[in-house]
A and B are shown apart, each in its own frame.
Chain A
Amino acid sequence: MLLAIDMALIIEKLVLIVIVVMASLVIAMYTTFAERKVAAILQDRRGPNRAGPFGLLQPLADGLKLFFKEEIIPNFSSKALFIIGPGLAMLTAIMAGAVVPWGDKVHFFDRDIALQIADVNVGILYVFAVVSMGVYGIMIGGWASNNKYSLMGALRAASQIISYELAMGISLIALLMVTGTLSLKEMVLDQQTGYWNIVYQPLGFLIFLICAFAECNRTPFDLAEAENELVGGYHVEYSSMKLGFYLFAEYINMFISSVIMATLFFGGYDIPFLNEANYDQNWMALFGVLMLMAKVVGFIFLFMWVRWTIPRFRYDQLMHLGWRVLIPLALFNMLLTGALVLLKQNGWHF
Chain B
Amino acid sequence: MNALTNRAKQVDRRKMNFLERLYLVAIFKGMMITFSHIFKKKPTINYPEKTRPFSPVFRGLHILNRDEEGRENCTACGLCAVACPAEAITMEAAERQPDEENLYREEKYAAKYEINMLRCIFCGLCEEACPKDAIYLSETFAPSDYQRKQFIYKKEELLIPHPIEKPEEYKKALGNRVKRETAN
Binding site for B on A (CB under 8 A): 41-46, 49, 305-306, 308-310
Using Cβ atoms and an 8 Å threshold, which residues of chain A touch B37? 41-44
Q: Any chain A CB within 8 A of the CB of B35?
A: yes
A-B contact pairs, 14 of them (CB 8 A): A41-B37, A41-B38, A42-B34, A42-B35, A42-B37, A43-B37, A44-B40, A45-B42, A305-B34, A305-B35, A308-B34, A309-B31, A309-B33, A310-B27
The closest CB in chain B to the CB of A308 belongs to B34
- Residue-wise, chain B 18-58 has the 8 Å CB interface mask toward A (1 for contact) of 00000000010011011101101011101000000000000
Q: A46: which of B30, B33, B34, B42 is its contact (CB, 8 Å)?
A: B42
Using Cβ atoms and an 8 Å threshold, which residues of chain A touch B35? 42, 305
10 nearest A-B residue pairs (beta carbon): A309-B34, A309-B30, A42-B34, A46-B44, A309-B31, A45-B44, A41-B38, A42-B37, A44-B42, A44-B37
Using Cβ atoms and an 8 Å threshold, which residues of chain B touch A309? 27, 30-31, 33-34
Binding site for A on B (CB under 8 A): 27, 30-31, 33-35, 37-38, 40, 42-44, 46
CA gap between A329 and B27 in the complex, in Å:
19
CA gap between A45 and B38 in the complex, in Å:
9
- Min Cβ gap A316→B in Å is 16
CA gap between A43 and B34 in the complex, in Å:
8
Using Cβ atoms and an 8 Å threshold, which residues of chain B touch A46? 42, 44, 46
CA gap between A46 and B37 in the complex, in Å:
12
Using Cβ atoms and an 8 Å threshold, which residues of chain A touch B33? 309
Using Cβ atoms and an 8 Å threshold, which residues of chain B touch A42? 34-35, 37-38
The closest CB in chain A to the CB of B22 belongs to A325
- Min Cβ gap B163→A in Å is 39
Using Cβ atoms and an 8 Å threshold, which residues of chain A touch B46? 46, 49
Residue among A41, A43, A45 with max Cβ neighbours from chain B (10 Å): A41
CA gap between A332 and B30 in the complex, in Å:
28
The closest CB in chain B to the CB of A306 belongs to B31
- Min Cβ gap B25→A in Å is 13
The closest CB in chain B to the CB of A50 belongs to B46
The closest CB in chain A to the CB of B29 belongs to A309
CA gap between A213 and B43 in the complex, in Å:
32
Using Cβ atoms and an 8 Å threshold, which residues of chain A touch B27? 306, 309-310
- Min Cβ gap B100→A in Å is 49
CA gap between A42 and B46 in the complex, in Å:
18
Using Cβ atoms and an 8 Å threshold, which residues of chain A touch B34? 42, 305, 308-309
CA gap between A308 and B173 in the complex, in Å:
46
The closest CB in chain B to the CB of A38 belongs to B38
CA gap between A305 and B30 in the complex, in Å:
10
Q: A45-B42, A310-B30 are in contact. List 10 more A-B contacts (CB 8 A).
A: A41-B37, A42-B37, A44-B43, A46-B44, A46-B46, A49-B46, A306-B31, A308-B34, A309-B30, A309-B31
The closest CB in chain B to the CB of A41 belongs to B38
CA gap between A43 and B44 in the complex, in Å:
11
CA gap between A106 and B41 in the complex, in Å:
45
- Min Cβ gap B33→A in Å is 8
Using Cβ atoms and an 8 Å threshold, which residues of chain B touch A41? 37-38
CA gap between A43 and B31 in the complex, in Å:
12
CA gap between A320 and B92 in the complex, in Å:
78
The closest CB in chain A to the CB of B45 belongs to A46
CA gap between A305 and B37 in the complex, in Å:
11
Using Cβ atoms and an 8 Å threshold, which residues of chain A touch B31? 305-306, 309
CA gap between A309 and B23 in the complex, in Å:
13
